[in-house]
Amino acid sequence: MEQALRELDKANIELGKSLWKIRSSLTVYSVIGLNASRIERGKGFFGLVQGQQIDLIAIEFSKIFEGEKDFRLNSISSIVRFIEEKEMVPINPEALSSYLGQEKSETWIRDLQEMLDSQYSKYKKEINRIRKARNTHIAHSQFGAPKNDLPSVAVFQELLGLAFRFHDFINSAFVNTHSHPILTDTQVQTSLVNLLQEIGLADVTTAWPN
């Protein structure tokens, strides 16, 4: 069981890295976009950097919501399947109850899967749009494939929140450790704001209007 726990922790760490990349890319995309009309120096550079963030976001979300085929993945569904296969039990039942919104029962793994399936169904259309974009013109270049619009920043943030709560649940319920505060991490934002201020942009906007 110790080996299984180490493998679970490793997979969840990799999931966390994807979440951090998405969060950072959303920050870069948003801050540059919100201030684009006032950026006087390096417009071409900042435009290129901003455009690359959307591709990175799509790739990382595709990893997170990818289903298993021939090998294990660091995706949400693959992590759940591994837990079920190894018959792992949460060492912190309260974290499980908090995540599911109900007391732990004998059917907790089924309850967990049903909740995740419900979340996936709610965002299935958006996730499929991300996956299609990744498969046709981001990771691959399919001839003649239309370039469809990706979901909005607001939807990306909602998906990020769902995925982070799962990541945090695994840390709390199985690994008994605290997650890095990915959703509130401002390291990248602070660095980008400082850079924009260095090139003469005062009063950098960092949040979309409500």
- Using one digit for the tens of pLDDT, what is the confidence trace for 87-109? 999 999 999 999 999 887 888 99
Domain for residue 46, yes or no? yes
- Give the per-residue pLDDT at 106: 85
pLDDT digits (tens, 9 = 90+) for 2-51: 899 999 999 999 999 999 999 999 999 999 999 999 999 999 999 999 99
Q: What DSSP line would sit under 41-58, residue for residue?
A: S-HHHHHHHHHHHHHHHH
Domain that holds residue 89: 2-198
More confident residue, 11 or 143: 11
Domain for residue 205, yes or no? no
Q: pLDDT band for position 137 (50/70/90)?
A: confident
Alpha carbons 180 and 182: distance in angstroms, whole number = 6
Backbone angles phi, psi at 70, to 5 degrees: -105, -5
Tokens of 76: 């949400």
**Share of the chain residues as helix, strand and coil, in percent rounded to the nearest 5:** 70, 0, 30
Domain for residue 104, yes or no? yes
State how many domains the chain has. Answer: 1
Domain for residue 209, yes or no? no
Q: 145 pLDDT exceeds 50?
A: no
Domain for residue 42, yes or no? yes
